[in-house]
């Protein structure tokens, strides 16, 4: 009897060890699945190299560049993405191309799915892109230059053709397209206490009146590109990717129409993520929407709003960075940024022209921030070739944050 019992124990032991090993592997997999790297990258790929190609600016130029894997600037962009290897990535300034098979899918196929300089190829099985206001024509003279030109300064967002400076979200986790929300057509006038630009005090007899006519103001869209809420299902937990690319607060005049717009574009997202403050917001389906308590979110994009330095504008980015719902505790930095300027805070720069302009800001709820960085190699690094000038890749750097989902 004793021998049979021992035999049974020895027979069962391998199965017990196997089960324990499986549990250990499952625990490791769960731990890996809880780690999420989120990044934003203004790739400056609107009509990449159209001047060098001798072509007029058009989304078709980018299609041509993406039709093969031969463009060096785009190869460098792909190499940067492969080196950082984020799980979720927002691309700013990637022209909107309705036919994804000749747009973003070709970028993935011909560049990201191909090893660049020995790096492991990356793949993104889930993509979100949509229309934007840049280059979307109007019949108004929005820049008040005396001409109704439809495009450029008279478009809903500055652009020479529809879709210029577009946005794309790439994800290794499923995107819930059915519940994605866009805010491209939200009217600026529908924001309470909007910062409506005024004519300069000393420039005209109409000083003190509104920059936009009543008819223009009634139709003018707030978002210069679009604002997106893209839900991503990360192993059963929803992460709201809140993406935007507000207009630069310059390239205007004393009326500060771009500066006021930049402020209110950032405010729209700040109000949207704050329960009980975004009741006025409606999406492109006409539904009044905002985030709920205890929604996980990550704000991503080129916000064109510095947090310190000579390009800083008071009370703009603070709408997000000082929100009690946003975790801005770990500021991404780089040695290359520190080297690029004598300012003691330049290590946080994300653009070569000297500012923290690009942000990845997670919610306080649902995440622990583990690490963060800006891809900006120093001049003595072999990788400096990837960022040495705008033609190498972009005038912006990729910014990333690693999170643990709670």
Overall pTM > 0.85: yes
CA distances from 337 to 217, 260, 375, 384 (A): 40, 28, 9, 12
Residue 339 within any structural domain of the chain: yes
pLDDT at 47: 58
Residue 379 within any structural domain of the chain: yes
Full domain range(s) for residue 131: 35-405
- 159: CATH: 3.60.10.10
Which residues are within 8 A (CB) of 14 and not within 5 positions of it... i.e. 6 or more apart?
none
Residue 342 within any structural domain of the chain: yes
Among residues 171, 168, 296, the alpha carbon closest in space to that of 228 is found at 168
339: helix, strand or coil: helix
**C-alpha span between 142 and 22 (Å, rounded):** 64
Residue 9 within any structural domain of the chain: no
Which residues are within 8 A (CB) of 380 and not within 5 positions of it... i.e. 6 or more apart?
none
Q: For 142-214, where are the E strands, in sequence order? A: 167-171, 181-182
Q: Please count the structural domains in the chain.
A: 1
Q: Which letter, b or e, does each residue of 62-76 get, where b requires 16 or more Cβ atoms within 10 Å of its Cβ? A: bebbbeebebebbbb
pLDDT at 26: 45
Residue 234 within any structural domain of the chain: yes
pLDDT at 23: 53
pLDDT at 221: 98
- Given a cut of 50, the residues of the chain with pLDDT beneath it are 2, 5-17, 21-22, 24-33
- H-only helix segments in 34-102: 59-66, 72-84
**C-alpha span between 171 and 107 (Å, rounded):** 14
> Structure tokens of 73?
């600037």
Contact 56, 93 (CB under 8 A): no
- H-only helix segments in 96-149: 104-107
Residue 10 within any structural domain of the chain: no
242: helix, strand or coil: strand
Residue 321 within any structural domain of the chain: yes
Element (H, E) at 35: strand 35-42
**C-alpha span between 396 and 92 (Å, rounded):** 10
Q: How many residues are listed for the chain in this entry?
A: 406
Residue 231 within any structural domain of the chain: yes
Tens of pLDDT along 370-401? Answer: 999 999 999 999 999 999 998 899 999 999 99
pLDDT at 10: 46
């Amino acid at each position: 009897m004793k021998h049979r019992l021992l035999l049974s124990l020895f027979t069962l032991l391998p199965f017990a060890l196997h089960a324990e090993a499986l549990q250990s592997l499952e625990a490791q997999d769960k731990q890996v699945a809880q780690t999420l790297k989120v990044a934003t990258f203004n790739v400056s790929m609107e009509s990449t190299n159209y001047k060098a190609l001798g072509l007029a600016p058009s989304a078709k130029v980018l299609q041509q560049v993406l039709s093969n894997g031969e463009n060096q600037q785009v190869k460098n962009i792909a190499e940067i993405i492969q080196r950082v290897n984020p799980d979720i990535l927002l691309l700013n300034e990637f022209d909107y191309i309705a036919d994804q098979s000749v747009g973003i899918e070709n970028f993935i196929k011909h560049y990201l799915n191909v090893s660049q300089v020995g790096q492991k190829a990356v793949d993104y099985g889930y993509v979100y892109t949509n229309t934007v206001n840049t280059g979307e024509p109007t019949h108004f003279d929005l820049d008040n230059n005396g001409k109704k030109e439809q495009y450029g300064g008279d478009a809903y967002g500055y652009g020479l053709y529809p879709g210029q400076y577009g946005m794309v979200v790439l994800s290794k986790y499923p995107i819930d397209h059915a519940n994605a929300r866009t805010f491209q057509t939200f009217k600026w006038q529908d924001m309470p206490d909007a910062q409506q630009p005024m004519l300069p005090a000393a420039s005209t007899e109409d000083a003190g009146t509104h920059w936009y006519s009543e008819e223009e103001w009634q139709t003018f869209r707030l978002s210069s590109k679009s604002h997106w809420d893209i839900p991503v299902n990360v192993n059963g937990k929803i992460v709201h990717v809140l993406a935007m690319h507000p207009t630069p607060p310059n390239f205007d005049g004393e009326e500060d129409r771009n500066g006021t717009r930049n402020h209110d574009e950032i405010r729209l997202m700040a109000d949207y993520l704050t329960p009980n403050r975004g009741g006025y917001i409606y999406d492109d389906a006409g539904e009044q929407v905002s985030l709920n308590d205890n929604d996980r979110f990550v704000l991503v994009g080129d916000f064109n709003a510095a947090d310190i330095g000579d390009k800083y504008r008071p009370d703009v980015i603070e709408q997000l960075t000082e929100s009690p719902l946003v975790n801005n505790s770990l500021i991404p930095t780089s040695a290359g940024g520190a080297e690029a300027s004598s300012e003691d805070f330049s290590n946080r720069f994300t653009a070569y022209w000297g500012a923290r302009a690009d942000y990845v800001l997670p919610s306080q709820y649902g995440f622990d921030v583990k690490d963060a960085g800006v891809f900006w190699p120093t001049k003595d690094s072999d990788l400096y070739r990837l960022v040495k000038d705008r033609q190498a890749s972009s005038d912006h750097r990729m910014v990333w944050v690693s999170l643990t989902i709670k």
